[in-house]
Amino acid sequence: MAKSESTFLNMVLTLLGVTFIAAAILGFVHDITKDAIEASKLKAQSEAIERVLPEFDELGESFQVAVSSSDDSLEFFPAFKGGEWVGVAVKTFTNKGFGGFISVMAGIDKSGSLSGYEVLEHAETPGLGSKMDAWFRNAEKPNQNVIGKNPQSYKFEVSKDGGDIDAITASTITSRAFLDALSRAFEAFQKQEQQLENKKSSL
């Protein structure tokens, strides 16, 4: 086949054809992967909720809680056991990370202590800030472990800023950001505590 000439009509038709076919293919792929992407996101979220909370048998309906320190509200996932409220998973975040946005799932139990956390999304430096996933739950190092700590008796700030928690070595910014996210969760939690106590399982 001879090479087509670079006439105006040819060029317009070619580009139109190429983009049309590309759009059709992308639409098709988007359609078949849409559900799987949604499902894998939901699965990651519900797995995180299960890991951060004490044992529960039913997850209540999630709701949004506004916080004063930012425009966005946090999502609360209350958990129940035998109809009794046992804790809440709070999807919290911070924009102060070294790589910007960090999203954390924080579990808060009935007494108001942190029952667990899971980093959902971050862009911190590998090998430094990315250690936050393990650093703050190291049971052998009480000064950096935040699990089971209650903000009433424990200051959720790095020791450099007068808090009670040792920052990740060489990653103070990430540590500050991480604790900022947790503090935001606690702030929202304290506002909601009353309502949560009254909430009963829907069953």
Partner 1 sequence: MNQWNNFSKGFIKENPVFVLLLGMCPTLGVTSSAINGLGMGLATTFVLVMSNIVVSLVKNIIPDKVRIPSFIVIIASFVTVVQLVMQAYVPDLYKSLGLFIPLIVVNCIVLGRAEAFASKNNLFSSAIDGLGIGLGFSFALVLLGAIREFLGSGKLFNMTIYPENYVTLLFVLAPGAFIVLGYLIALINQIKKIRR
Q: Which residues bind partner 1 (CB under 8 A)?
A: 1-7, 10-11, 14-15, 18-19, 22, 25-26, 29-30, 33, 36-37, 40-41, 44, 121, 123, 125-128, 170
Residue 197 Cβ vs partner 1, minimum distance, rounded to whole Å: 36
Q: Are 201 and 60 in contact (CB under 8 A)?
A: yes
User: Quick one: 121 or 197, whose CB is closer to partner 1?
Assistant: 121
User: Quick one: 21 or 66, whose CB is closer to partner 1?
Assistant: 21
Residue 201 Cβ vs partner 1, minimum distance, rounded to whole Å: 31
State the pairing for strand pair 100-109/114-121.
antiparallel
User: Quick one: 22 or 66, whose CB is closer to partner 1?
Assistant: 22
Q: Are 57 and 82 in contact (CB under 8 A)?
A: yes
Q: Are 189 and 101 in contact (CB under 8 A)?
A: no
Give the position of tokens 């472990």: 145
Residue 76 Cβ vs partner 1, minimum distance, rounded to whole Å: 24
Report CA Rg, the chain.
23
Residue 15 Cβ vs partner 1, minimum distance, rounded to whole Å: 6
Residue 141 Cβ vs partner 1, minimum distance, rounded to whole Å: 14
User: Quick one: 84 or 121, whose CB is closer to partner 1?
Assistant: 121
The DSSP bridge partners found for residue 85 are 80
Q: Are 178 and 136 in contact (CB under 8 A)?
A: yes
**What burial letters (b/e) apply to 36-49, b meaning 16+ CB within 10 Å?**
eeeeeeeeebeebb
User: Quick one: 128 or 147, whose CB is closer to partner 1?
Assistant: 128
